Chains A and B, each alone.
Chain A
Amino acid sequence: MNAIEKVGEYASLMYRTITKPDRWSIFWKQYVNEVKKQGIDSLWIVVIISTFIGAVITIQMVLNTENPLLPTYSTGLATRDTLLLEFSSSIMCLILAGKVGSNIASEIGTMRITEQIDALDIMGVNSANYLILPKITAFMTIIPCLVLVSMFVGIIGGYCVGIFTDIITVHDYEVGIQYAFIPFYVTYSVIKGIVFAFIISSVSSYYGYTVKGGALEVGKSSTDAVVNSSVLILLFNVMLTKLLLT
């Protein structure tokens, strides 16, 4: 199947997915379940990675800005902007593409090969809407929280460097993270997160939903979902940055 056919198939699947649910009560039940599965269960990995990356960025900034011409607060400022502009949205979503994307693709793929999706279709249920819409909406609504948590704990990670080492003083770091703060950077990051969440959940659902064969193909579809979501995230990152920041 060539790329154009795949895009067409993806668009057709999304057309079937983004419609009014057959039963709102069932949709909300699925939605809450997905928020827990994709959001709450991803919180720990977001916290761990953001804390350590925040700390590492701070240390590297100190080492790379050892210049008497640069103000002492530049480390905090650079750490904050790196986290806000790029890490907490783009890099975090690339990491979540691995966790959430593979989970979605393998779950739906397994349902496909064990005829559970056929069973839904035979019952007259819109299987795409029933299975995929709660995943997309749940991930798109929980991602702003994950992005904000990532920003917050990332900055805390840098703060810990000031507290537990003598590389940078807490005062310099505090001044840096408050200096020339542009609130739109947070909005920009959240917007990117929402777009990337749609890419991850919809592309992974597509690869799971259209799988043919057995367990081997489910594994392959899971890998394809992660790879293609990641490539699209990088592509849209450039486009959104151009659109929103220039």
Chain B
Amino acid sequence: MIEVQNAIKTFDGNQVLKNVSAIFEAGKTNLIIGQSGSGKTVLMKSIVGIHRIDSGHILYDGRDITIMKRKQLNQLRREIGMLFQGSALFDSMTVLENVRFPLDMFSDETEDEKDRRARFCLERVELSHAVDLYPSEISGGMQKRAAIARAIVLNPKYLFCDEPNSGLDPKTSLLIDKLIQDITHEFNITTIINTHDMNSVMEIGENIIFINKGEKAWQGNSNEIYDTGCQPLEDFIFASELFKKIKHVHSSNK
């Protein structure tokens, strides 16, 4: 479980996070949603420790990263897997080498064991056929899957996904969403997904946090999202005609 307590973050006098508190539960897909510029990426980067918050606390199962030294933070980070918006695979390495990289850096297993573990993760994301290809030789969806394999190769306790569906077609997006959710349940990971893809929200939103202008405006799950009473959230979700119709159908069925 990850707990954010009264997080405040300011950039050049502009308060981007305004006293945000939230709990992200283990074994659930926790979503951070919000408009572009709302502060959701800053919140995620603060949780991961890329940004240091000005005040407040961020607790990983009781361990406060805001008071950790760099060495301690690096130790904790070995329990973290992260999927970046652009995949962030290393260009100079093949897919297999990318997935093996965290093992090479931190594991004392034998070469064979590392290889087996990396191949198992690639099999889990259905990329066994692409092990010897370079990131530039595979599609965006495959890159995302390779990045997921790399993120889970060290059996992380915490998984962060920054806009996992950006640049992907709806079908591939769905596959990625399901994959993340399955892995979360399978390995009981605390997964935090930063997204503004409403399909993801509806499909895998087990715990959703809506950030509006740097503040937490709502928290719930995908079943509760149709009737939140939170106007900024309603404006955000039901901006498109499609989702207005879905809401209408949902209300009629009630």
Contact = CB atoms under 8 A, between A and B. Distances in A.
Contacts of B15: none
B112 interface: no
A66 interface: no
Given A119-B82, A122-B50, A122-B77, A26 B88 contact: no
Contact of A23 (B74, B76, B77, B105): B105
Contacts of A115: 84-86, 88
A123 interface: yes
Contacts of B105: 22-23, 26, 123, 125
B74 A126 contact: yes
A40 B104 CA distance: 27
B84 A121 contact: no
Contacts of B73: 124
B78 interface: yes
Interface residues of B, number: 23
Nearest to B75: A124
Interface in B44-87: 48, 50, 73-78, 80, 82, 84-86
Contact of B78 (A23, A111, A124, A126): A124
Contacts of B50: 118, 121-122
A124 B77 contact: yes
A10 B158 CA distance: 33
Contacts of A125: 74, 105
A114 interface: yes
Contacts of A114: 86, 88, 91
Interface in A105-160: 110-111, 114-116, 118-119, 121-126
B77 A123 contact: yes
Interface size class of A (residues with CB under 8 A): 10 to 19
A225 to B, nearest CB: 20
Contacts of A119: 82, 84, 88, 90
Contacts of B77: 121-124
Given A22-B105, A122-B48, A123-B102, A116 B74 contact: no
B106 to A, nearest CB: 7
Nearest to B147: A119
B195 to A, nearest CB: 17
A115 B73 CA distance: 19
A118 B85 CA distance: 12
B107 to A, nearest CB: 10
B164 to A, nearest CB: 13
Interface string A214-246: 000000000000000000000000000000000
A13 to B, nearest CB: 14
B63 to A, nearest CB: 14
B93 to A, nearest CB: 10
Interface in B97-131: 101-102, 104-106
Interface string B28-54: 000000000000000000001010000
Nearest to B77: A124
Nearest to B82: A122
Given A114-B88, A123-B102, 17 more contacts: A22-B106, A114-B91, A116-B88, A116-B89, A116-B91, A118-B50, A119-B82, A119-B84, A119-B88, A121-B50, A122-B50, A123-B101, A123-B105, A123-B106, A124-B74, A124-B76, A124-B106
Interface of A: 22-23, 26, 110-111, 114-116, 118-119, 121-126
